[in-house]
Chain A
Amino acid sequence: MDWGSLQAVLGGVNKHSTSIGKIWLTVLFIFRIMILVVAAERVWGDEQQDFVCNTLQPGCRNVCYDHFFPVSHIRLWALQLIFVSTPALLVAMHVAYTRHEKKRRFRNGEKIDIEELKNEKMHIRGPLWWTYTGSIFFRLVFEAVFMYVFYYMYDGYQMPRLVKCDAWPCPNTVDCFVSRPTEKTTFTIFMLAVSGICMMLNLAELCYLVIKICMKESRKTT
C-alpha cells in the first residue's frame, strides 16, 4: 500500500467530483505527492546523518536532533496528504451504497440496466450533496490543522542553518548545524504554497456547491 494505491483509490472518486474537485485532485497528485516522492524525500534523506554538532560528547547530537526535529517535515507532509485525501472516501462509500441499493431494487424485479448502473455518474444532489460538502469541509479542517502544527512545531517556515542546543548530555551550549537548510526552506515554502492553493480550490468548490443548492431552492419556490 503506497502512494500508487492511494491514486488508484482516489481515481475512482474523481468520476463523481465537480470540475474544481478534479483540478484539486490533479494538483494534489502532481504538485504535492509527486514532488514529495521525487524531490523532497531526497532533500530530507540525510537529515540526521548530516546534522553536525560542535562537540565530541557522545549522545549530544542524537539528543539535539530529537529536540529540534520532534517529527520530521517529510512525515508531517505524508500524514497531511493521507488525512486530506481520506474524506473523499466518504463520497466513494456513499456512491457505493447508493449503487448497492439500486442493484437490490433491480434484483427485486425493477427494470434497471445493471451495466449502465456500474458506469453511471451520480449527480451531486440530496444526501450525496451533504456527504460531498462534508468531505470538503473536513479536507479544509485537516489542511488548516496541519499548517498550524507545522508553524507551531518549527516556529515558522524557515529552516535555520544553526541551532543552539543545551540539552543533557551536551556540555553547556553547543552549536549544531542543519543539513541543506536553504533547499529545505525552499521546499517547505513550495509545499506551503501548494497547500494554500488546494485550500482555495476547496473553498471555491464549497461556495460553488452552496450557490448551486441555493439557486435550486429559489427555483423550486418560484
Chain B
Amino acid sequence: MDWGALHTILGGVNKHSTSIGKIWLTVLFIFRIMILVVAAERVWGDEQDDFVCNTLQPGCRNVCYDHFFPISHIRLWALQLIFVSTPALLVAMHVAYRRHEKKRQFRKGDQKCEFKDIEEIRKQRFRIEGSLWWTYTSSIFFRLVFEAVFMYAFYFMYDGFRMPRLMKCNAWPCPNTVDCFVSRPTEKTVFTIFMIAVSSICILLNVAELCYLLTKFFLRRSKKAGNSKQQPNHENKEETKQNEMNELISDSCQNTVIGFTS
C-alpha cells in the first residue's frame, strides 16, 4: 500500500468530479506526490546523518536534532497529502451506495429507468446534484480545512518556511551552548517554498470549485423558481411536485444515457 495504490483509489473518484476537481487531482499527483517521492525524499534523506554539532559529547547531536525537528518536513507532507486526499473517498462511498441502490431497483424489475444491463449501471456517471452535491461540497470543505491546518502547523513548528544553516543548542547533555549545522539548508528551503506554493494553488483550486458548485446550485434554484412562476395559478402543489419529479427522472435518465455514451 503506497502512493501508487492511493492513485488507483482516487482515480476512480476522478470520473465523478468537476473539471476543476480533475485539475486539482492532477496537480496533487504530479506536483506534490511525485515531487515528494522523486525529489524531496532524497533531499531530506540524510537529514539526521549530516546534522553536525560542534561537540564530542555523545547524545548531544541526537537531542539537538530532536529538539529542532520534532516532526520531519517529509512526514508532515506525507500526512498532509494523505489527509487531503481522503475526503474524496466520501464521494466515492456515496457514489458506490447510489449504484448499489440502482442495482437493487434494477434487480427488482423497476421500469423507471431503461438500463440494458448491470454493466450500464456500473459505468454510469452520476451528476453532482441532490445529496451527492452536499457530500461533494463537504469533501471540498474538509480538504480546505486540512490544507490550512497543515500549513499552519508547518509555520508554527518551524517558525516560518526558511531552513536556517546554523542552530544554537543548549539542551542536556550538550555542554553550554553548542553550534549545530543543518544539512542542505538552501535546497530544503527551495523545496519547502515550492511545496507551500503548490499547496496554495490547490487551496485556490478548491475555493474556485466551491464557488462554482455554489453558483451552479443557486442558478438551478432560481431557474426552478422562475419555471414554477410561469405555470398557471390553478395548478395545485401536488401536480407541480409531480411535474418536477417527472422532469428530474427523465432528466437524470437522459443524462445517464448521455454520460454513458460520452
- Which residues from chain A sit less than 8 Å from chain B, CB to CB? 3-4, 7, 19, 22-23, 26, 29-31, 33-35, 37-39, 42-43, 46, 50, 52-55, 161-162, 175-183, 186-187
Task: Tell me if A177 and B75 are in contact (CB < 8 A).
Answer: no
Given contacts A181-B66, A182-B70, contact A39 B75 (CB under 8 A): yes
CB of B93, distance to nearest CB on chain A (Å)? 8
Contacts of B89 in A (CB 8 A): 26, 30
Tell which of A46, A55, A177, A186 has the most Cβ of chain B within 10 Å: A177
CA of A43 to CA of B59 in the docked complex: distance in angstroms? 18
Contacts of A22 in B (CB 8 A): 93
CA of A176 to CA of B173 in the docked complex: distance in angstroms? 11
Contacts of B19 in A (CB 8 A): none
Which residue in B1, B63, B79 is a CB contact (below 8 Å) of A37? B1
CB of A213, distance to nearest CB on chain B (Å)? 21
CA of A179 to CA of B63 in the docked complex: distance in angstroms? 8
CA of A2 to CA of B150 in the docked complex: distance in angstroms? 31
Task: Tell me if B58 and A161 are in contact (CB < 8 A).
Answer: no
Looking across the interface, which residue of chain B has its beta carbon closest to that of A33? B1
Question: Count of B residues near A, CB < 8 Å?
Answer: 30
Given contacts A54-B59, A177-B58, A182-B66, contact A46 B71 (CB under 8 A): no
Contacts of A31 in B (CB 8 A): 82
- Which residues from chain B sit less than 8 Å from chain A, CB to CB? 1-3, 5-6, 9, 48-49, 57-59, 61-63, 65-66, 69-72, 74-75, 78-79, 82, 86, 89, 93, 97, 173
Task: Tell me if B82 and A30 are in contact (CB < 8 A).
Answer: yes
CA of A34 to CA of B5 in the docked complex: distance in angstroms? 9
Looking across the interface, which residue of chain B has its beta carbon closest to that of A186? B71
CA of A4 to CA of B9 in the docked complex: distance in angstroms? 13
Task: Tell me if B71 and A183 are in contact (CB < 8 A).
Answer: yes
Task: Tell me if B1 and A7 are in contact (CB < 8 A).
Answer: yes
Q: Main SS of the interface on chain B?
A: helix
Task: Tell me if B1 and A34 are in contact (CB < 8 A).
Answer: yes
CA of A221 to CA of B137 in the docked complex: distance in angstroms? 45
Task: Tell me if A53 and B1 are in contact (CB < 8 A).
Answer: no
Given contacts A53-B58, A177-B58, A182-B71, contact A38 B66 (CB under 8 A): no
Contacts of A161 in B (CB 8 A): 62-63, 66
Task: Tell me if A52 and B58 are in contact (CB < 8 A).
Answer: yes
CA of A176 to CA of B63 in the docked complex: distance in angstroms? 11
Looking across the interface, which residue of chain A has its beta carbon closest to that of B77? A39
CA of A50 to CA of B63 in the docked complex: distance in angstroms? 11
Which residue in A35, A52, A54, A187 is a CB contact (below 8 Å) of B82? A35
Task: Tell me if B79 and A39 are in contact (CB < 8 A).
Answer: yes
Contacts of A4 in B (CB 8 A): 1-2, 5
Given contacts A52-B58, A162-B59, A181-B66, contact A34 B71 (CB under 8 A): no
Task: Tell me if B59 and A52 are in contact (CB < 8 A).
Answer: yes
Task: Tell me if B74 and A178 are in contact (CB < 8 A).
Answer: no
CA of A31 to CA of B75 in the docked complex: distance in angstroms? 13
CA of A186 to CA of B75 in the docked complex: distance in angstroms? 11
Task: Tell me if B75 and A43 are in contact (CB < 8 A).
Answer: yes
CB of A76, distance to nearest CB on chain B (Å)? 18
Looking across the interface, which residue of chain A has its beta carbon closest to that of B6? A34
Contacts of B79 in A (CB 8 A): 35, 39
CB of A139, distance to nearest CB on chain B (Å)? 18
